[in-house]
């Protein structure tokens, strides 16, 4: 019957997997947009002292995304187990052995780093100058990263490009988290929350929710394809020919590759500039050198890792950097958390459960400052100031951009298998959540300290950190970056410092200074401030490593090797990649030295460029067989081109915002145009060739790679291959040539059945 046929479920591997993804994404969208839509209503309710609406966006939604990925992995692996008659897949013994070795190494490394921090704390206690401690932190971390780069040097192409495809999921998750938690997250996130309050939570919701898209829609399929770079996948997926007016037929996959590389360069270079900028902020503060000099000196550690060992060195360096940055971020928050006594918590070190009382104290202090004449008006920290459409637009662009960033996606090329890639995404989000669930607490503690211990105080007793960060232009009093009480008095045009109480409008703190300044704001030991500087440096350098590698690999592999000299040797390609690393790093440093914008804005631009240029081509390439090369080319040109035009026009051209949508959410215009252009042009032109359709089908089919098999299973397959080769060899001519040809064909057929 027609009705029975219509409602019959597709129980194939692809049918079940597709339904699971749709179900997960429906739940994901409902939570990601449903809870923020109710913020005004839910903020009237309290949970552990928290306004519930704020708490939902700051803590509940990110944790829910992590739980959703665990459910997805469990169900998807059950579907795969059914394809193997319930037999569980076992990772290769080599991967398990590497995991055990790395676990021992990094546990010892973590213990060593903690001991180093305690030693510096001892030096501070016995009177070693603060600047010397800051220099020791910076030199130690840069030297350690350089040492890892030297130890991991390689001349093998698969090690250089994809770390040999054998990185265990938990360590790839740590490396991805470090790669991800850039200067924007470490240096800029808490500062943005400090400045924007509730509206800043759009960054947390967007960046954590994006990993659901990565795991369900893109990463497993890219790993199954097995490419070195994102442009390589796009070129292979979008093959096709076009007949020119003169009758000449040309292959257009090279055009798709070139455009994908341009998208990669635009978003990655923008992102890279932000990391180099944050590196300059940290180095200039803690070593005491000029910002422009600090920007270039911070590249030393990056280049050592990237030049010598490529992805292999970058991966293991990023694991080390994650350990440092997460210790550096959580320790100050825990120290401040243990001092809280708000009626709900007392001396509680779990910072993301403690700051509810702090939020209430901020709300009370806001009203008090108005009553005391310290502020004419204060925008409530806990309430949304943006239109809801602005909050949702930024959240959406950050989510889609996360699933489109080449330097993030290429991390999942390094795992042993498709299953490991999915698990690696979950580990990535778990490690990222440690920082993102701490950032709101960090911002709240700092906000209350400034409101109560700085605002309303006489100029004569302003804390030293105001002047310290004034020297590098990150704080200002009465519109001037001051370095002493006398300068503050002069800036505020007062006769004496003791007569004037600092008002809220008088003090400006850069969002990029908040995290590194908070330990000093809270009066913590200088060793903690130095620790934060080491963490911020780790965050910026780890992301810069990945971005530099993504850019240089795309230029050397996708442009030079694939489009210019396809006969270039591996040694020549690696040499060109390393030269490009240096050139790109210097260009990024030169751009960052001009201080083009705050860190988080530059990063958000990169996300919009990646979303509009990559996401339509990647999603349609995997999920819609009819998408063809002409459609992909049209989609990239229209979507990415419109986003770039809007960014340049609003940032540098003086354009008015379209519909009031900020340029940090520029992909709201380019993304739908990119999808529409891809779909319309694909439907108006010939379908993809058969070999491309077969490739798409292979991405959707369940296959088992050698890395997913035990040694016994591999031996069994080898015996079957040999038996089949002997059987077919007896059926052909006894001549040597015919026998060799038949054996090769049989081996190729069997290999195709057991590999991706």
Q: What is the pLDDT of residue 755?
A: 38
- The answer to the question of residue 68 being in a domain is yes
Q: What is the pLDDT of residue 428?
A: 95
Pick from 502, 531, 559: which residue ends a domain? Answer: 502
Residue 549 has pLDDT above 50, yes or no: yes
Distance, CA of 295 to CA of 550 (rounded, Å): 21
* Pick from 101, 104, 160: nearest CA to 305: 160
Q: What is the pLDDT of residue 710?
A: 39
DSSP per residue over 696-728, as a string? HHHHHS----GGGS-HHHHHHHHHHHHHHHHHH
Distance, CA of 331 to CA of 442 (rounded, Å): 10
Q: Name, in order, each residue with C-beta under 8 angstroms of 674's C-beta and a sequence gap of 6 or more.
A: 612, 613, 615, 616, 617, 635, 636, 638, 639, 640
Distance, CA of 313 to CA of 337 (rounded, Å): 36
Hey, what's the torsion of the CAs at 598, 599, 602, 603, to 10 degrees? -150
Q: What is the pLDDT of residue 705?
A: 43
Instruction: Give the residue-averaged pLDDT of 477-482.
Output: 89
Residue 323 has pLDDT above 50, yes or no: yes
Distance, CA of 14 to CA of 21 (rounded, Å): 10
488-519 pLDDT, tens digit per residue, is 888 887 755 567 889 999 999 887 778 888 88
Q: Does 585 lie in the same domain as 481?
A: no
Residue 582 has pLDDT above 90, yes or no: no
Q: Which has more confidence, 422 or 599?
A: 422
Q: What is the pLDDT of residue 496?
A: 59
Distance, CA of 753 to CA of 756 (rounded, Å): 8
What distance separates the 2 farthest-apart alpha carbons in the chain?
Answer: 108
The pairing of beta strand 507-509 with beta strand 475-477: antiparallel
682-724 pLDDT, tens digit per residue, is 999 999 999 999 989 888 877 644 444 434 434 444 444 444 4
Instruction: Give the residue-averaged pLDDT of 306-312.
Output: 64
Token pair belonging to 740: 């060799």
- The answer to the question of residue 314 being in a domain is yes
* Pick from 601, 437, 385, 443: nearest CA to 57: 437
Q: Which residues on adjacent β-strands are paired with residue 341?
A: 346
Instruction: Give the residue-averaged pLDDT of 75-104.
Output: 75
Q: Does 281 lie in the same domain as 228?
A: yes
| Residue 456 and residue 369 in contact, taking contact as beta carbons nearer than 8 Å | yes
Distance, CA of 603 to CA of 270 (rounded, Å): 7
Q: Does 629 lie in the same domain as 721?
A: no
212-243 pLDDT, tens digit per residue, is 999 999 999 998 888 778 888 999 999 987 77
Token pair belonging to 315: 């991966």
| 710-721: burial string, b at 16+ Cβ within 10 Å, e else | eeebeeebeeeb
Q: What is the pLDDT of residue 92?
A: 52
Output Rg (C-alpha) for the chain, integer angstroms.
Answer: 28
| Residue 230 and residue 260 in contact, taking contact as beta carbons nearer than 8 Å | yes
Instruction: Give the residue-averaged pLDDT of 66-71.
Output: 96
Q: What is the pLDDT of residue 554?
A: 78
Pick from 473, 502, 531: which residue ends a domain? Answer: 502
Q: What is the pLDDT of residue 495?
A: 56
Q: What is the pLDDT of residue 302?
A: 62
Instruction: Give the residue-averaged pLDDT of 249-275.
Output: 85
Q: What is the pLDDT of residue 626?
A: 94
| Residue 163 and residue 415 in contact, taking contact as beta carbons nearer than 8 Å | no
Phi, psi for 251 (deg, rounded to 5): -85, 135
Residue 592 has pLDDT above 80, yes or no: no
| Residue 516 and residue 474 in contact, taking contact as beta carbons nearer than 8 Å | no
Q: Which has more confidence, 185 or 496?
A: 185
Q: Which residues on adjacent β-strands are paired with residue 480?
A: 477
Model confidence band, residue 48 (pLDDT cutoffs 50, 70, 90): confident
Q: What is the pLDDT of residue 536?
A: 81
98-104: which pairs have CB atoms within 8 A and are 24 or more residues apart?
98/166, 98/168, 99/168, 99/170, 99/171, 102/168, 102/171, 102/319
Instruction: Give the residue-averaged pLDDT of 92-102.
Output: 73
Model confidence band, residue 369 (pLDDT cutoffs 50, 70, 90): very high
Q: Does 515 lie in the same domain as 498?
A: no
| Residue 753 and residue 701 in contact, taking contact as beta carbons nearer than 8 Å | no
* Pick from 662, 615, 648: nearest CA to 395: 662
Residues listed for the chain: 756
| Residue 177 and residue 428 in contact, taking contact as beta carbons nearer than 8 Å | yes
Q: Does 279 lie in the same domain as 130?
A: yes
Distance, CA of 174 to CA of 318 (rounded, Å): 7
Q: Does 496 lie in the same domain as 509?
A: no
Q: Read off the DSSP letter of residue 522.
A: T
Residue 298 has pLDDT above 90, yes or no: no
Q: Which has more confidence, 193 or 706?
A: 193
Pick from 466, 483, 502: which residue ends a domain? Answer: 502
Q: What is the pLDDT of residue 717?
A: 40
Q: Name, in order, each residue with C-beta under 8 angstroms of 615's C-beta and a sequence gap of 6 or more.
A: 400, 401, 403, 404, 671, 674
Q: Does 511 lie in the same domain as 493?
A: no
Q: What is the CATH number of the domain that holds 4?
A: 1.20.1730.10
- The answer to the question of residue 471 being in a domain is yes
Instruction: Give the residue-averaged pLDDT of 613-633.
Output: 95
Q: Does 387 lie in the same domain as 485?
A: no
Lowest-confidence range among 43-57, 64-78, 705-719? 705-719
Q: What is the pLDDT of residue 746?
A: 38
Instruction: Give the residue-averaged pLDDT of 133-161.
Output: 74
Degrees to nearest 5, angle at CA 367 with 366 and 368: 90
Residue 3 has pLDDT above 60, yes or no: no
Instruction: Give the residue-averaged pLDDT of 536-558.
Output: 78
Q: What is the pLDDT of residue 345?
A: 65
| Residue 502 and residue 457 in contact, taking contact as beta carbons nearer than 8 Å | yes
340-355 pLDDT, tens digit per residue, is 776 666 777 777 778 8
- The answer to the question of residue 750 being in a domain is no
Residue 624 has pLDDT above 90, yes or no: yes
- The answer to the question of residue 744 being in a domain is no
Model confidence band, residue 301 (pLDDT cutoffs 50, 70, 90): low
Lowest-confidence range among 492-496, 530-534, 629-633? 492-496
Residue 604 has pLDDT above 60, yes or no: yes
Token pair belonging to 467: 């002047």
Q: Does 475 lie in the same domain as 412?
A: no
Q: Does 336 lie in the same domain as 272?
A: yes
* Pick from 400, 350, 397: nearest CA to 214: 400
- The answer to the question of residue 751 being in a domain is no
| Residue 529 and residue 120 in contact, taking contact as beta carbons nearer than 8 Å | no
Lowest-confidence range among 112-121, 343-352, 548-557, 657-666? 343-352
- Mean of the per-residue pLDDT values of the chain: 81
Token pair belonging to 588: 């990024």
- The answer to the question of residue 662 being in a domain is yes
Q: Does 440 lie in the same domain as 322?
A: yes
Residue 280 has pLDDT above 50, yes or no: yes
| Residue 134 and residue 286 in contact, taking contact as beta carbons nearer than 8 Å | yes
Domain membership of residue 721 as a residue range: 709-736
Q: What is the pLDDT of residue 74?
A: 94
- The answer to the question of residue 745 being in a domain is no
Q: Would you give the distance in Å from CA 333 to the centre of its chain?
A: 22
Instruction: Give the residue-averaged pLDDT of 173-191.
Output: 82
Q: Which residue has the tokens 């998750």?
A: 173
Residue 745 has pLDDT above 80, yes or no: no
Quick one: what percent of the chain has pLDDT higher than 70?
A: 83
Distance, CA of 751 to CA of 728 (rounded, Å): 15
pTM > 0.85: no
Instruction: Give the residue-averaged pLDDT of 248-273.
Output: 85
Q: Which has more confidence, 91 or 595?
A: 595
Lowest-confidence range among 467-476, 548-557, 713-722? 713-722
Distance, CA of 594 to CA of 583 (rounded, Å): 18
Q: Which has more confidence, 168 or 186?
A: 168
Distance, CA of 272 to CA of 665 (rounded, Å): 19
Q: Name, in order, each residue with C-beta under 8 angstroms of 654's C-beta and a sequence gap of 6 or more.
A: none
Give me the number of domains the chain comprises. Answer: 3
Q: Name, in order, each residue with C-beta under 8 angstroms of 316's C-beta and a sequence gap of 6 or more.
A: 148, 152, 175
Q: What is the pLDDT of residue 60?
A: 94
382-440 pLDDT, tens digit per residue, is 889 888 999 999 999 999 999 998 888 988 888 888 889 999 999 999 999 999 999 99
Q: 3-state DSSP helix/strand/coil percent for the chain, to nearest 5?
A: 75, 5, 20
Instruction: State which of 294-298, 368-372, 575-579, 649-653 shows the largest mean pLDDT.
Output: 368-372
Q: Does 525 lie in the same domain as 498?
A: no
């Amino acid at each position: 019957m027609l009705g029975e046929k219509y409602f019959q479920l597709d129980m194939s591997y692809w049918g079940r997997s597709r339904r699971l993804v749709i179900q997960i994404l429906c739940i994901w969208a409902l939570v990601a947009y449903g809870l923020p839509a109710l913020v005004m209503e839910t903020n009237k309710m309290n949970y552990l002292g928290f306004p519930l609406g704020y708490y939902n966006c700051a803590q509940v939604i990110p944790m829910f995304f992590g739980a959703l990925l665990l459910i997805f992995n469990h169900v998807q692996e059950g579907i795969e187990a059914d394809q193997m008659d319930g037999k569980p897949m076992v990772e290769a013994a080599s991967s398990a052995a590497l995991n055990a070795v790395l676990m021992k190494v990094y546990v010892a490394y973590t213990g060593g780093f903690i001991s180093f921090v305690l030693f510096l704390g001892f030096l501070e206690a016995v009177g070693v100058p603060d600047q010397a401690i800051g220099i020791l932190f910076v030199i130690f971390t840069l030297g350690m990263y350089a040492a890892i780069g030297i130890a991991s040097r390689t001349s093998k192409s698969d090690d250089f490009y994809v770390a040999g495809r054998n990185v265990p999921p938990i360590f790839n998750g740590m490396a991805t988290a470090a790669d991800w938690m850039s200067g924007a997250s470490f240096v800029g996130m808490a500062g943005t929350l400090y400045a924007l309050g509730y509206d800043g939570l759009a960054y947390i919701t967007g960046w954590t929710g994006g990993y659901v898209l990565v795991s369900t829609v893109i990463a497993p399929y890219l790993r199954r394809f097995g490419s070195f770079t994102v442009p390589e996948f796009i070129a292979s997926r979008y093959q096709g020919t076009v007949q020119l007016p003169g009758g000449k037929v040309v292959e257009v996959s090279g055009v798709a590759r070139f455009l994908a590389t341009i998208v990669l360069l635009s978003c990655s270079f923008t992102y890279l500039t932000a990391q180099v900028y944050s590196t300059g902020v940290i180095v200039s503060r803690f070593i005491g050198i000029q910002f422009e000099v600090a920007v270039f000196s911070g590249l030393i550690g990056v280049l050592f890792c990237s030049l010598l060992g490529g992805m292999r060195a970058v991966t293991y360096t990023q694991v080390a950097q994650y350990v440092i940055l997460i210790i550096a971020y959580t320790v100050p928050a825990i120290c401040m958390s243990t001092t809280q006594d708000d009626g709900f918590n007392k001396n509680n070190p779990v910072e993301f459960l403690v700051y509810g009382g702090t939020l209430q104290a901020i709300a009370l202090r806001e009203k008090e400052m108005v009553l005391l004449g310290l502020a004419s008006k204060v925008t409530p920290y806990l309430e949304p100031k943006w239109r809801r459409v602005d909050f949702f637009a930024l959240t959406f662009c950050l989510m889609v951009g996360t699933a489109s960033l080449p330097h993030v996606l290429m991390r999942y090329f390094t795992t042993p298998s498709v299953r490991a890639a999915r698990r690696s995404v979950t580990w990535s989000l778990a490690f990222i959540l440690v920082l993102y669930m701490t950032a709101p607490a960090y911002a709240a503690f700092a906000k209350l300290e400034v409101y109560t211990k700085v605002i309303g105080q006489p100029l004569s007793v302003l804390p030293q950190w105001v002047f310290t960060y004034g020297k590098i232009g990150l704080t200002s009093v009465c519109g001037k970056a001051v370095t002493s009480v006398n300068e503050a008095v002069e800036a505020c045009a007062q006769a004496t410092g003791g007569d004037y109480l600092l008002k809220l409008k008088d003090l400006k703190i850069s969002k990029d200074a908040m995290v590194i300044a908070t330990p000093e704001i809270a009066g913590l030991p200088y060793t903690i401030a130095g620790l934060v500087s080491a963490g911020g440096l780790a965050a910026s350098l780890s992301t810069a490593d990945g971005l530099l590698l993504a850019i240089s690999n795309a230029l050397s592999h996708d442009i030079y090797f694939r489009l210019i000299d396809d006969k270039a040797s591996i040694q020549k390609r690696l040499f060109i990649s390393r030269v490009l690393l240096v050139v790109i790093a210097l260009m990024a440093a030169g751009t960052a030295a001009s201080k083009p914008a705050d860190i988080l804005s530059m990063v958000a631009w990169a996300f919009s460029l990646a979303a509009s240029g990559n996401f339509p081509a990647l999603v349609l390439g995997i999920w819609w067989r009819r998408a063809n090369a002409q459609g992909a080319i049209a989609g990239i040109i229209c979507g990415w081109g419109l986003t770039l035009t809007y960014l340049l026009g609003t940032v540098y051209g003086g354009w008015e915002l379209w519909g009031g949508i900020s340029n940090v959410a520029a992909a709201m215009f380019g993304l739908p145009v990119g999808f529409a252009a891809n779909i319309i042009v694909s439907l108006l032109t010939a379908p993809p060739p058969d070999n491309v359709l077969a490739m798409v089908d292979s991405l959707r089919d369940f296959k088992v790679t050698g890395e997913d098999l035990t040694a016994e299973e591999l031996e069994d397959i080898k015996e079957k291959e040999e038996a089949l080769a002997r059987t077919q060899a007896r059926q052909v001519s006894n001549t040597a040539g015919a026998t060799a040809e038949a054996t090769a064909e049989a081996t190729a057929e069997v290999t195709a059945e057991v590999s991706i």
